Amino acid sequence: MTTLIEVPEAEPGIVAPKSKSKAGGGLGRYIVIRFFLIIPTVFILVTLVFFLMRVIGDPITASQGGRLPPDVLAQRIHDAGYDRPVLVQYFEYLGQLITGNFGTTITDRRPVVEVLTTFGAATLELSINALIVALAVGIPFGLIAAQHRDKTPDALLRFFAILCYATPVFFSGLLLKLTFSVWLGWFPVAGRASTRTELTMSGLAAPSGIYWLDAIRSGNFTALGDIAAHAVLPAIALGLLTAGVFLRLVRTNVIGTLGKDYIEAGRSRGVSEYRLVTKHAYKPALIPIITVMGLQIALMLGGAILTETTFEWKGLGYQLVQYLNARDFVAVQGIVVLLAIIVAVTNFIVDIIAALIDPRVRY
Amino acid sequence: MSTPALTAPKQPLFSRLPVISHLKKSVGLQRGMLVVGVVLSGLFILTSIFAPLLAPYGYSQLSDASGSFPTQQAPSSEHLLGTTVGGYDVLSRVIWGSQTAVTVIIVSVAMSLFLGVALGLLSGYFGGWLDRILVVVADAIYAFPTLLLAIVISIVISRGQSSFWGGIFSCAFSITVVFVPQYFRVIRAETIRLKAEPFVESAKVLGASSMRIIGRHIFKNATRTLPLMFTLNASEAILTLAGLGFLGFGIEPTSAAEWGFDLNKALADTSSGIWWTGVFPGIAIVLTVLGLTLVGESINDLNDPRIRGRKRAGRTPAPGTPAAPTTPSTPAEAGKP
């Protein structure tokens, strides 16, 4: 639903009529209030995930049960403190989170923070690539569809948008792999880079983890080519999912602005239809895109899990599935909490950007 | 949609049903989209009902009278869409898969409708601390990646065991948790709007109880958007189910056929050029979601007078359509939220 229609919104909780009269003070206040709204969101999700995970039992039995003798198991449970009351563990966990300690994974005994920083960069890279594809496809096509409203191009593009939404990422990924890697042999089948490049990348001093950034910084252009070839198919698969949403949004909003008085005024002065769309109507239509992008981040992270599994792209989503299959719930909990924080913070940033651009959203 | 329709003479129930009334007011391209959507959705439902008759083999059948099925066999006259690596017949699994999908949709949407509508009505009507808590919780869940939440919930519920109904319920319940906030938000917003309407106030003055006002006056008015949400959520339910299956948190192949699971198994086949194991279940997902989305989309567009295409001037408006302006009205309200 986040993807398709704008559901009627409830009146926002914080309506501060006073701040409207103040010209400058409103934004600062809005940012502060909006910032503090992150806390309950993250807190609720952490609580939800923690208790859901504990319903299954303690994490050590879940991952090691049956493999270790019962007395060793009991000893390890006792050492890790999982035999204490759940509420005590819950508050301890909250305390650890505040100090940035996400725990240690059970299966491979790595600090969760280390897992997050290692694989987070790969997911970030994938998301950026996909976002570029989504914007590059969605905005121009949306403009074209709006300009030819209810004509053939519009019909085709709208159908394309719905098709983008209707195709699961792993199916479009599978089709892309089949066509472009197996049959045509243009792109590699899976992974972020070939083994040699991956070795070079991990050997770099202070790598950012985002491969193309590292390759450019170290001036290694053969590696850059290899990375780009690997990035194309996953970026398209994940990007198209969001492109459809952007296309529809741009179309609806441009059609909306095209009916406004100032466009009518331009038209009556003889400004061409093409110029009306590209110069006058599309800018105000882009504002809702920024707002919706916040919601798209959540959709994209979900899609990233599937895309990474499809293309063996070793990011957070791929790793999450590995840990889930190994029943390592400390790691799962850590990754899920981190993703919750990412979603909350990006929504915050997006809201601030929207407020900077459009003063009407400041309450 | 709202006020003029109240004064217009009542149409027979059949032509007031959601999809049929929309079909009557649609024109041109929009009607085409709606018709395609209805046909695809109809095919999907019919396939699921008649799966036992349509499918040549069972979903977990590995052999017939002439011996075991070959594995990874290309489409042939015996197996129209080929066989999988495990020796399942692809066509049969695609057909049986529709049954799993329909069951999950019905269970999940029914559960989320019930919970979401009830919570939304109570929260919107009574307000207060219950409302605040529910809104914050719903917003938190709403912003979270749906698939991730579904994964967490499905492992909590199924814990690895997955019989047919166990698998169906764990999938359906995961989807429910994701959907409840959406229904909740919409119904709550509508309820708050309706609470201020004069007819609610007059009911209060007449001494009607809160339950009666909610059940009789608000419920009927607040649930206008539900057909739309139903179709869109049904398609999202299929995508979530397939996503769960693809990641391996779905239903075992011996308990039911599930398209996402088949795609997961097909992924390894692609590198050796075996296409039939993945392409057909994938197409089944796409067509189903496409059909449901087209229906939902068209309803959405037809409900919105700013987007809806109009019948040309001179033609008499179809019965039941509130007298629509013959020229496309300038969307004066476009800027308003």
Contact yes or no for B135 and A40 at CB 8 A? no
Confidence class for position B277, pLDDT limits 50, 70, 90: confident
Confidence class for position B309, pLDDT limits 50, 70, 90: low
Pairing of strands B63-64, B67-68: antiparallel
> How confident is the model at residue B322, as a pLDDT?
41
B contacts of A150 (beta carbons < 8 Å):
28-29, 309
Contact yes or no for B148 and A178 at CB 8 A? no
> How confident is the model at residue A17, as a pLDDT?
43
> How confident is the model at residue A20, as a pLDDT?
42
Please state the rounded mean pLDDT for residues B126-134.
84
> How confident is the model at residue B330, as a pLDDT?
36
Contact yes or no for A5 and B300 at CB 8 A? yes
Chain B residue with minimal CA distance to A299?
A: B145
Contact yes or no for A302 and B243 at CB 8 A? yes
CB-based contact (8 Å) between B136 and chain A?
A: yes
Contact yes or no for B152 and A321 at CB 8 A? no
The answer to whether the Cα torsion of A347, A256, B315, A158 is positive or negative is negative
In this model, does residue A132 exceed pLDDT 50? Answer: yes
Contact yes or no for B142 and A155 at CB 8 A? no
Please state the rounded mean pLDDT for residues A327-340.
82
Chain B residue with minimal CA distance to A161?
A: B290
Chain B residue with minimal CA distance to A336?
A: B148
B297 HSE (CA, 13 A, CB side): 29
How many other C-beta atoms are found inside a 10 Å radius of the C-beta of residue B293? 27
Q: Which of A84-98, A260-274, B312-326 has the lowest mean pLDDT?
A: B312-326
B contacts of A302 (beta carbons < 8 Å):
145-148, 243
B contacts of A52 (beta carbons < 8 Å):
152-153, 156
Asked if residues A288 and A264 have their Cβ atoms less than 8 Å apart, the reply is no
Please state the rounded mean pLDDT for residues A16-32.
58
> How confident is the model at residue B310, as a pLDDT?
58
Which residues are within 8 A (CB) of A97 and not within 5 positions of it... i.e. 6 or more apart?
Answer: A46, A337
Using CA atoms, how far apart are residues B319 and A37, in angstroms rounded to an integer? 49
- Chain B nearest C-alpha distance from A206 (Å): 31
Contact yes or no for B145 and A299 at CB 8 A? yes
Q: Who has greater pLDDT, B330 or B185? A: B185
Q: Who has greater pLDDT, A60 or B243? A: B243
Q: Who has greater pLDDT, A73 or B138? A: B138
B contacts of A5 (beta carbons < 8 Å):
228, 232, 300
Please state the rounded mean pLDDT for residues B133-154.
81
- Chain A nearest C-alpha distance from B174 (Å): 12
Give residue B142's Cα distance to chain centre: 17
> How confident is the model at residue B91, as a pLDDT?
82
- Pick from A2, A1, A116, A307: nearest CA to B247: A307
B contact residues 12-71, partner A, Cβ 8 Å cutoff: 28-29, 33
- Pick from A2, A17, A10: nearest CA to A362: A17
Mean pLDDT score across all residues of chain A: 77
Chain B residue with minimal CA distance to A325?
A: B248
B contacts of A347 (beta carbons < 8 Å):
143
**pLDDT tens readout for residues A67-82:** 677 777 777 777 776 7
Contact yes or no for A260 and B135 at CB 8 A? no
Please state the rounded mean pLDDT for residues A152-166.
85
Confidence class for position B13, pLDDT limits 50, 70, 90: low
> How confident is the model at residue B241, as a pLDDT?
86
Using CA atoms, how far apart are residues B337 and B333, in angstroms rounded to an integer? 8
Determine the length of chain A.
363
- Tell me whether residue B164 is exposed, middle or buried, using C-beta atoms within 10 angstroms of its C-beta: 0 to 12, 13 to 18, 19 or more: middle
**pLDDT tens readout for residues B148-207:** 888 888 777 766 555 667 777 778 888 888 888 888 888 888 888 888 888 888 888 888
- Among the partner-chain residues B136, B147, B275, the one whose CB lies closest to the CB of A44 is B136
Q: Which candidate in B119, B149, B158, B176 is best for mutational testing of the A interface (most A CBs within 10 A)?
A: B149
> How confident is the model at residue A328, as a pLDDT?
79
A contacts of B132 (beta carbons < 8 Å):
13
In this model, does residue B320 exceed pLDDT 50? Answer: no
Give the number of A-B residue pairs with CB atoms closer than 8 Å: 190
> How confident is the model at residue A207, as a pLDDT?
67
The two tokens of residue B327 are 């020229």
Contact yes or no for A343 and B144 at CB 8 A? yes
- Pick from A135, A126, A177: nearest CA to A305: A126
Torsion of CA B140, B143, B144, B147, to 10 degrees: 130
Chain B residue with minimal CA distance to A303?
A: B147
- Chain A nearest C-alpha distance from B164 (Å): 20
Please state the rounded mean pLDDT for residues B101-122.
87
Please state the rounded mean pLDDT for residues B8-15.
63
- Among the partner-chain residues B28, B185, B247, the one whose CB lies closest to the CB of A10 is B185
Asked if residues B299 and A5 have their Cβ atoms less than 8 Å apart, the reply is no
Confidence class for position A22, pLDDT limits 50, 70, 90: very low
Asked if residues B214 and B125 have their Cβ atoms less than 8 Å apart, the reply is yes
- Chain B nearest C-alpha distance from A335 (Å): 10
B contact residues 191-250, partner A, Cβ 8 Å cutoff: 192, 225, 228-229, 232-233, 235-236, 239, 242-243, 246-249
**pLDDT tens readout for residues B114-128:** 888 888 888 888 877
- Among the partner-chain residues A10, A174, A309, the one whose CB lies closest to the CB of B188 is A10
B contact residues 285-324, partner A, Cβ 8 Å cutoff: 285-286, 289-290, 293-294, 296-297, 300, 306-307, 309
> How confident is the model at residue B314, as a pLDDT?
45
A contacts of B260 (beta carbons < 8 Å):
168, 170
Confidence class for position B22, pLDDT limits 50, 70, 90: confident
Distance set, CA B293 to CA A167, B36, B82, B232, B242 (Å): 11, 10, 29, 6, 16
> How confident is the model at residue A268, as a pLDDT?
86
Confidence class for position A14, pLDDT limits 50, 70, 90: very low
- Chain A nearest C-alpha distance from B119 (Å): 15
- Among the partner-chain residues A189, A309, A324, the one whose CB lies closest to the CB of B271 is A189
